[in-house]
Amino acid sequence: MSSERPCCILPYSYAPLSYEWVTQPEATDVIYVHRKEFMRFAERMDVDGGGLIVSLNFMGCPYGLYTIPVRIGGYHTDDADLIYGPSWMIESAGYDAGDLNTVSLSIYDEDIPSATSIDIVLMDVGSSIYSSETKEMFETALTMYGCIKKESAIQLHLAELDMTVYGFVTDVKPANIARFNGEVEVNIMVGHEEPKQEVIPIMPIPIEHSIPITPPSEPEFKQPSVEERRAAIRASWANRKC
C-alpha cells in the first residue's frame, strides 16, 4: 500500500452542522477528508466507479497497528489535517472518539475482490434479537458498507427497529479484505466461542530422578489474540454505554 501523510480523525458529530452528513447514521464505513485530499483521490474514484476504498491506519493503537478499510464519501473544507468518520470505528481501535487521534490513509496497490461470503458474530443485544424474522434487517444494514475485513469490528443500524448493534467479522471470502457488492452469502451467528486451551500431556517423572524445572519467563510483549481484541472492543462499547 502507498502511504499518505499523518492526520487526525474525529467523529461526524464534531463537524459543522452545515454538512448534511453530520447527522447520518454512523453504521457505515464512509469517511470525509479535506477537499484537497479528495481532489487527489478523485481520479482513482472514477476508475473504481464510486467511493474509493482506502486503508485507515490507526497509529499508537493499544492493539499494535490497527487498520480497517474505509470509503471516501466526500469532502469538507475545515482543517486540512482533519478526517471525519464514524465514532464506533475510532472506538474499535481502542481510542477515545473525542480526542484528536492520529491516523493515516493508504491506497491499496492491488485490486480488492468482491466478497462471496461473510461470517459475522453478533455481540450483546444483537444476539438476543437475531432471528429468521430479523435476518433480512441485518443483511440490509450490511449494505451500508462498501468493503469488509476479516477480524474487524462492525456496527449495524437496524432502521426498522431504530436500533444499533455490534458484531465481529470472523471470516471473509475469497480474501481477507473484499468489496461488499453483488451476490454475497451472509452467515450471521450469535454469541462467541471461548478460545480453546491446548492441553499438553506431561509424562510422569520418577521422584528419585526428578529434576527441578524453571518455567520460562513471559515475553515482554505478546500480540493480542482475536479473542482479546474482541473482549477489548466489547469493554470499550460497554464503557461508552455507561
The pLDDT score that the predictor gives to residue 177 is 94
The pLDDT score that the predictor gives to residue 12 is 93
Burial of 239 (0-12, 13-18, 19+ CB in 10 A): exposed
The pLDDT score that the predictor gives to residue 6 is 84
> Rounded to an integer, what distance in angstroms lies between the CA atom of residue 4 and that of residue 183?
33
pLDDT in tens, 64-84: 778 999 999 889 999 999 999
> What is the CATH architecture assignment of 117-190?
Roll (3.10)
**SS3 labels along 64-76:** CCEEEEEEEEEEE
Q: In the chain, where are the structural domains located? A: 2-107, 117-190
**Bond prior to 174 in cis (omega within 30° of 0):** yes
* 2-107 homologous superfamily: Ubiquitin fusion degradation protein UFD1, N-terminal domain (2.40.40.50)
The pLDDT score that the predictor gives to residue 21 is 87
Retrieve residue 229's grid coordinates: 481484541
Q: What is the pTM of this model?
A: 0.74
Asked whether the beta carbons of 54 and 105 are under 8 A apart, the reply is yes
Enumerate residue ranges in the chain where pLDDT < 50. Answer: 2, 49, 193-216, 218-219, 221
